[in-house]
Structure 1
Amino acid sequence: MLFGSGIAASMIDLFIFHLALQWHHFYDLSTTEVALTIDGFFHAVGWFITVWGLFLLADVRRRAEVHWARWTGAVLAGIGFFQLFDGVVFHKLLRIHQIRYGVDLFVYDLTWIGSAMVLLLIGLLLLRHTRPTQVPA
């Protein structure tokens, strides 16, 4: 899940919405310079979480065979969790940034939060479907 959360933060949110589309920054309640500086810290934390997830994967691979379908479920759950947390907490509750400015947010919020819930649900279903079977004692 760490790897998925890091991918959502670093790749999806930062690269697409902050840099490519330039719709928002992590913190939009100050100057552009402050927003870009905080984006840099957000980027660093996102990559730290991604690399941490890869180190955990390497450790699991060293000790046992990786169940890739289960890992995929955890990654999808991590992406969904991060996007849902971002959409609900940062966008709606704290209002430190919105998906976009100068437009009706309903469709954007519905798409952002809805897709996050779908990814989280798919990831959790994959995790449930691939959980190890219990051997009776």
Structure 2
Amino acid sequence: MGAVDEIVFHQLLHWHHFYDRASGAAGLVSDGLLHAATLSAVVAGLALLADLRRRRTFTPTRWWAAVLLGAGAFQLWDGVVDHKLLRVHQVRYGVDPTGYDVAWIAGAVVLLAAGALLMARARRRPVR
């Protein structure tokens, strides 16, 4: 989810940088660090996926549940901690952020709920 946020809102739409309380150069550096962190998380996730497949314990439902839970957790953290508590950036500048904040956090709740439902379904099934 961090990569989606960084690509869509930082690079394509230019709505904000990861750290907007400094010069444009600092914002670009912070975006680069966020991109490096999200790419590292993707590589680690793919390594875990490969290990599950190698051990023949991969369960698609459990995997997608974990993906949705991780995406929702990132988005909730970003919306509450980064946007509201630390104020490192907002979703969008030059407009009233309330609607964007509500949509961002509601999206996180939807992702978390979908992930939790899938995880509950996966736990009821025996692992192959």
After TM superposition, the score normalised by the length of structure 1 is: 0.88
Aligned partner (choices 18, 27, 33) of residue 26 of structure 1: 18
Amino acid at match of 1:97: H
Name the structure 2 match of 1:57. Answer: 49
Distance 2:124 2:80 in 1: 32
Distance in structure 1 (CA, Å) of the matches to 2:55 and 2:22: 47
Identity of aligned residues (%): 50
Q: Could you list the runs of 5+ residues in structure 2 that have no partner in the other structure?
A: none
Where do 4+ consecutive residues of structure 1 move more than 4 Å? Answer: none
* Matching residue within 70, 94, 100 for 1:108: 100
Q: How many residues align?
A: 126
Q: RMSD in angstroms over aligned alpha carbons?
A: 1.2
CA deviation after TM superposition for structure 1 residue 65, in Å:
3.6
Structure 1 residue aligned with 2:119: 127
CA displacement, residues 45-74 of structure 1 (integer Å, 9 cap, x when unaligned): 110011101101101110124110111111
TM-aligned CA deviation for residue 133 of structure 1: 5.4
Q: Residue 89 in 1 paired to residue 93 in 2?
A: no
- Which of 6, 16, 20 matches 1:14? 6
How far does the alpha carbon of each residue in 1:60-114 deviate from its partner, in whole angstroms, 9 at most, with x for none?
1101241101111111111111011110000000000000011111110000000
